[in-house]
């Protein structure tokens, strides 16, 4: 290792020795792990999405049989092709669980964080490569457990992605598997987050001070702290719920609970609200885990395609840090309707209003970054631009939910579903698409096709809004979420055309993903080859690595000479000055 000059041939010889399994399956290379995370997460996203496609049938055409589906799914789920209420609940619960914990987070953090972050800080790998691999495998097993739960008696969890007690305490055995799966996923993100933080603090390459880090790295840094500190309380909650279910304790069961006309035998004395506190203590920071990496990706793509420095780099970073800290103090805004008392409500209403401010600041900075730019409308840029208004709708619709008076009306309606999907679906998922189109050439050495990309973008944009905009209206009109038969109430019956419209938009949204899937695989072999390591003329370090980067990333450790987004510096010959190139 001491002869740096001879490093290369030695290195390659070393590569030959690794068998297929060690190189592609049980690899400790952060890039391979990132790709594993990415592919697994995309599969789960698709699976979670299909669950809701099924559920949308029941909402659009309540009780209308689909004979062939009934034959496939069997008597337990869809006898005679009619969806059972229990199955409806399973679809909803598992959709939420899979999308959040097995889809978005693993893609945003596990895949993009793992692949891009070490490259952006000029490190040869993560600080703990073996632990990094373990993190993926815990995730994988957690996913398998969740899938397995579909086949246990009584089916998978059906208490919503929030698994509220006491309902979840007395649910069939699928709920136990849900908890076991969650413990694996929590362990996975614990191992991952330790790795991220240590890597970012300890392994930045020469010259890369904190104030020269790309926004994406900052976003991953704060996200890792959220995962590290917010997930353990959910683990504690999962342990307590497991005890309730397996050892007959009553942590979350109140005294005198009657189920189906029968007193249940437990001692009681527990508190259903305790679960909600523990759950939301995780799950509010979790929503920032869902959004911060997306913001980071959007910042990278916007800087690159506006050919200008980001407007207010430091402001953005401080806002991200502020959000990170503050996100631990707002959780009970999900519990205004639980009767926890006005003092508590006022406190959490206030903190919620405060935390909205940095989100608005970030959004404004990104918007101002567009001002006066000669924008390159590449596919990643289209997704990044669309992120801005979509996230804005998501964030702004959060404000009425954060105020107790208006939340009384909106809580547990379709409005809430509309609110957070605007943030996560056309928000985060668009950011993730931007990231895929942006970094694909670094990973594969080939570009994604931009015609297919643009078709994918425009169709997705239209149908995303077709799905989520009507939900806001439904909610304001008083439609409850999670109703099995939306026509059961007179106002629901009157709103039924909305349900149909949303379902059709959702199915068309699914079809709109076909160009992406084709593009993704076709371009791997047939896409236009990149002619340089830096096809987007970008400034950050990942573009200085060979394409695709070898094990160890950089032939020699790179050095950093300037801030991350020095585009169009006056007096320079080219319109970008990479961090890694020394100039006079």
| Cα 125 from Cα 114, distance rounded (Å) | 9
Q: Minimum distance between the CB of residue 349 and Cu ion, rounded to whole angstroms?
A: 12
Window 268-307: residues binding other proteins (CB under 8 A) = 269-271, 274, 277-278, 281
Which residue of 97, 163, 188, 352 would you call a contact of ligand HEM, by CB under 6 A?
352
Q: Which partner, Cu ion, other proteins, ligand HEM, none, binds residue 73 by CB below 5 to 8 Å per kind?
A: none
Closest by alpha carbon to 109, among 432, 583, 520?
A: 432
The one-character DSSP state at 205 is P
| 284 forms part of the interface with Cu ion (CB under 5 A) | yes
Cβ atoms of residues 368 and 310 within 8 Å: no
The one-character DSSP state at 259 is E
Looking at beta carbons, which residue is closest to ligand HEM?
Answer: 398
Q: Minimum distance between the CB of residue 185 and Cu ion, rounded to whole angstroms?
A: 20
| 240 forms part of the interface with other proteins (CB under 8 A) | yes
- Of the pair 127, 381, the CB lying nearest other proteins is at 127
Q: Minimum distance between the CB of residue 477 and Cu ion, rounded to whole angstroms?
A: 23
In order of 278, 409, 503, the CA distances from 476 in angstroms are 29, 8, 19
Q: Minimum distance between the CB of residue 375 and other proteins, rounded to whole angstroms?
A: 38
Which residues have a Cβ under 8 Å from the Cβ of 576 and sit 6 or more positions away? Answer: 307, 537, 538, 539, 566, 567, 568
Cis preceding linkage at 548, omega within 30: yes
- Of the pair 398, 441, the CB lying nearest ligand HEM is at 398
Which residue of 334, 442, 446, 551 would you call a contact of ligand HEM, by CB under 6 A?
334
Number of residues that bind other proteins (CB under 8 A): 46
Number of neighbouring beta carbons within 10 Å of residue 269: 11
Q: Provide the β-strand partners of residue 413.
A: 480
Helix or strand or coil: residue 570?
A: coil
Q: Minimum distance between the CB of residue 285 and Cu ion, rounded to whole angstroms?
A: 9
Q: For 374, how many CA atoms within 13 A lie in the half-sphere containing its CB?
A: 3
| Cα 103 from Cα 137, distance rounded (Å) | 15
Q: Minimum distance between the CB of residue 476 and ligand HEM, rounded to whole angstroms?
A: 13
Q: Provide the β-strand partners of residue 174.
A: 156
- Of the pair 300, 407, the CB lying nearest ligand HEM is at 407
The window from 39-47, 74-82, 276-284, 537-545 that contacts Cu ion (CB under 5 A) reads 276-284
Q: Which partner, other proteins, Cu ion, ligand HEM, none, binds residue 193 by CB below 5 to 8 Å per kind?
A: other proteins
| 356 forms part of the interface with ligand HEM (CB under 6 A) | yes
| Cα 387 from Cα 337, distance rounded (Å) | 31
Q: Rounding to the nearest 10 degrees, give the CA dihedral for residues 280, 282, 285, 286.
A: -100
Query: Which stretches of 121-173 are DSSP H helices?
Result: 129-148
Helix or strand or coil: residue 567?
A: strand
- Of the pair 398, 564, the CB lying nearest ligand HEM is at 398
* Window 182-221: contact mask with other proteins (x via CB under 8 A): --------x--xxx-xx--xxx------------------
The window from 17-25, 36-44, 127-135, 302-310 that contacts other proteins (CB under 8 A) reads 127-135
The window from 165-173, 261-269, 318-326, 474-482 that contacts other proteins (CB under 8 A) reads 261-269
The window from 280-288, 289-297, 460-468, 550-558 that contacts Cu ion (CB under 5 A) reads 280-288
CA 221, distance to chain mean position in Å, is 15
Exposed/middle/buried for residue 131 (C-beta within 10 Å: 0-12, 13-18, 19+): middle
* Residue recorded with tokens 């009507």: 470
Q: Provide the β-strand partners of residue 262.
A: 259
- Give the H/E segment covering residue 459: helix 450-476
Q: Minimum distance between the CB of residue 359 and Cu ion, rounded to whole angstroms?
A: 12
Q: Which partner, Cu ion, ligand HEM, other proteins, none, binds residue 236 by CB below 5 to 8 Å per kind?
A: other proteins
Helix or strand or coil: residue 202?
A: helix
Q: Minimum distance between the CB of residue 548 and other proteins, rounded to whole angstroms?
A: 16
Which residue of 401, 432, 434, 459 would you call a contact of ligand HEM, by CB under 6 A?
401
- Of the pair 41, 194, the CB lying nearest ligand HEM is at 41
Cβ atoms of residues 468 and 426 within 8 Å: yes
Q: Provide the β-strand partners of residue 480.
A: 413
> Which positions lie near Cu ion, rule CB under 5 A?
284
Q: Could you list the residues that contact other proteins (CB under 8 A)?
A: 1, 11, 123-125, 127-129, 131, 190, 193-195, 197-198, 201-203, 228-233, 235-237, 239-240, 243, 247-251, 266-267, 269-271, 274, 277-278, 281, 551-552
Which residues would be at the binding site for ligand HEM (CB under 6 A)?
162, 287, 290-291, 333-334, 352, 356, 359, 395, 398-399, 401-402, 407, 410-411, 416, 419-420, 423-424
């Amino acid at each position: 290792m001491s002869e740096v000059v001879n490093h290369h041939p030695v290195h390659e010889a070393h590569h030959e020795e690794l068998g297929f399994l060690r190189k592609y399956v049980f690899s400790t290379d952060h890039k391979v792990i990132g790709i594993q995370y990415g592919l697994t997460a995309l599969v789960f996203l698709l699976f979670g999405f299909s669950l809701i496609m099924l559920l949308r049938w029941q909402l659009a055409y309540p009780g209308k049989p689909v004979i062939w589906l009934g034959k496939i799914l069997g008597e337990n789920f869809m006898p005679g092709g009619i969806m059972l209420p229990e199955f409806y609940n399973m679809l909803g619960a598992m959709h939420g669980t899979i999308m959040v914990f097995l889809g978005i987070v693993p893609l945003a953090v596990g895949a993009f964080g793992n692949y891009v972050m070490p490259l952006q800080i000029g490190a040869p790998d993560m600080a703990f490569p073996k632990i990094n691999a373990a993190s993926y495998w815990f995730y994988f097993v957690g996913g398998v457990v969740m899938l397995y739960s579909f086949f246990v008696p009584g089916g998978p969890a059906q208490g919503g992605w929030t698994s509220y007690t006491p309902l979840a305490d007395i649910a069939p055995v699928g709920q136990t598997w849900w908890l076991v799966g969650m413990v694996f996923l929590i362990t996975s993100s614990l191992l991952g987050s330790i790795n991220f933080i240590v890597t970012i603090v300890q392994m930045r390459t020469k010259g890369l001070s904190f104030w020269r880090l790309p926004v994406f790295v900052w976003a991953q840094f704060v996200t890792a702290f959220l995962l590290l500190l917010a997930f353990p309380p959910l683990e504690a909650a999962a342990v307590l719920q497991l005890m309730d279910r397996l050892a007959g304790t009553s942590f979350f069961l109140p005294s005198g609970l009657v189920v189906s006309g029968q007193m249940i035998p437990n001692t009681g004395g527990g508190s259903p609200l305790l679960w909600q506190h523990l759950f939301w203590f995780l799950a509010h920071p979790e929503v920032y885990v869902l959004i911060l990496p997306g913001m980071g990706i959007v910042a990278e793509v916007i800087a690159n395609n506006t050919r200008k420095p980001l407007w207010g780099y430091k402001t953005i970073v401080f806002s991200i840090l502020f959000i990170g800290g503050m996100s631990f103090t707002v959780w009970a805004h999900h519990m205004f309707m639980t009767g926890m008392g006005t003092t508590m409500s006022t406190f959490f209403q206030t903190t919620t209003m405060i935390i909205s401010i940095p989100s608005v600041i970030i959004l404004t900075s990104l918007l101002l970054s567009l001002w006066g730019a000669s924008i390159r409308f590449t596919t990643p840029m289209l997704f990044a631009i669309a992120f801005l208004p979509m996230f804005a709708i998501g964030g702004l619709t959060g404000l009425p939910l954060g105020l107790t008076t208006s939340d009384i009306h909106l809580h547990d309606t379709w409005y809430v579903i509309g609110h957070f999907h605007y943030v996560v679906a056309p928000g985060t998922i668009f950011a993730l698409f931007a990231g895929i189109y942006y970094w694909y050439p670094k990973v594969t050495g080939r570009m994604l096709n931009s015609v297919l990309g643009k078709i994918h973008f425009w169709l997705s944009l239209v149908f995303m809004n077709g799905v989520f905009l009507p939900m806001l209206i439904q909610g304001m009109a008083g439609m409850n979420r999670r109703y099995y038969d939306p026509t059961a109430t007179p106002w629901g019956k009157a709103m039924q055309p909305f349900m149909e419209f949303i379902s059709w938009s959702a199915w068309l949204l699914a079809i709109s993903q076909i160009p992406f899937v084709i593009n993704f695989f076709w371009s791997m072999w047939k896409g236009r080859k990149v002619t340089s390591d830096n096809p987007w003329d970008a400034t950050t370090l990942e573009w200085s690595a060979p394409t695709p980067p070898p094990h160890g990333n950089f032939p020699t450790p790179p050095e950093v000479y300037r801030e991350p987004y020095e585009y169009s510096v006056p007096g320079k010959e080219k319109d970008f000055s990479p961090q890694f190139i020394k100039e006079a």
